[in-house]
Amino acid sequence: MHQKNKDIQKRYEGFLQTPCLWKNNALFELRPFQIDKKSSKININIDEKLRLGKYIERLVSFQLKQEKFITILCENIQIQKDKRTLGELDCILKKGEKIIHLEIIYKFYLYDASVGAKEIEHFIGPNRKDSLLEKLNKLKEKQLPLLYSNESIAFLKSINLNASEIEQQVYFKAQLFVPFSKENIKLKMLNKECICGFYINRKDLYQFSDCKFFIPNKKDWVVAPYKNVNWKNYETFHIAIDEYYQKKQSPLCWLKKQNGEILKLFLVWW
């Protein structure tokens, strides 16, 4: 298999293995989209220049097309008004007899008990620039209501659909990371299966001085860690992370212990 195809396959498998952030019941009145995770050989071409969110949308599109009971009616619909883009409808599909407007999200959040007072409020982006609460509010107040704008209604009419007959759901997958040494955090509202690693500051990294490290590119943040990569020792890794700290960026890293165990972590600058 060509290397690019191997990379896409690994990312697709990693995407499939990532759990949805909540199950069954609605959260913030947001209904979760449910679909079985069936592994298959992915055979699509994806532009490597796409940002991660758009890249994930292509993986989801492939996944949906593997299901006999799902038909994609349209996807990535730009809704415009007076040549100004109001937003985008990720996907409208038919699942059985039900028409669904689907918004697709894949996120990485870190648990910080010092932020907010409730479980949802504690989860922030790796660089502290965004949060789970902000994303849920944006979905509820901006992205989903876009379906009912005059411009969207006009588009839907052009493909013989009526907004009032469309159910809205979110396909929200996430990787959650907890503080190092506090990995027994119990989640009540969110899916505990999403916890897949920890985060640590550079000053505490000495505790892993006998380990090896790898910094995957952002597309590979989705991937389940594997052994056959170019591992760095502790000293070389320390040099490599300088540029991230200078830019106030928190990279996702893989850590390999001496016993061969591989862990996922965010190395935070804050």
Predicted local confidence at residue 2, as pLDDT: 79
Q: How far apart are CA 151 and CA 249, in angstroms?
A: 38
Q: What type of residue sits at position 29?
A: E
CA distances from 235 to 203, 211, 230, 250 (A): 14, 10, 14, 18
Q: How far apart are CA 125 and CA 108, in angstroms?
A: 6
**Distance in Å from the first CA to the final CA of the chain:** 41
> Do 223 and 248 meet the contact criterion of CB atoms below 8 Å apart?
no
Beta carbons within 10 angstroms of residue 144's beta carbon: 18
> Do 58 and 44 meet the contact criterion of CB atoms below 8 Å apart?
yes
19-37: average pLDDT? 92
Helix (H) or strand (E) holding 109: strand 98-111
Percent residues over pLDDT 70 in the chain: 99
> Do 12 and 62 meet the contact criterion of CB atoms below 8 Å apart?
yes
Res. 10: pLDDT tops 80? yes
Res. 166: pLDDT tops 80? yes
Predicted local confidence at residue 260, as pLDDT: 97
Res. 182: pLDDT tops 80? no
Q: How far apart are CA 170 and CA 235, in angstroms?
A: 43
Confidence of residue 184 (pLDDT cuts 50, 70, 90): confident
Predicted local confidence at residue 24, as pLDDT: 83
pTM score, whole prediction: 0.95
> Do 79 and 151 meet the contact criterion of CB atoms below 8 Å apart?
yes
> Do 74 and 152 meet the contact criterion of CB atoms below 8 Å apart?
no
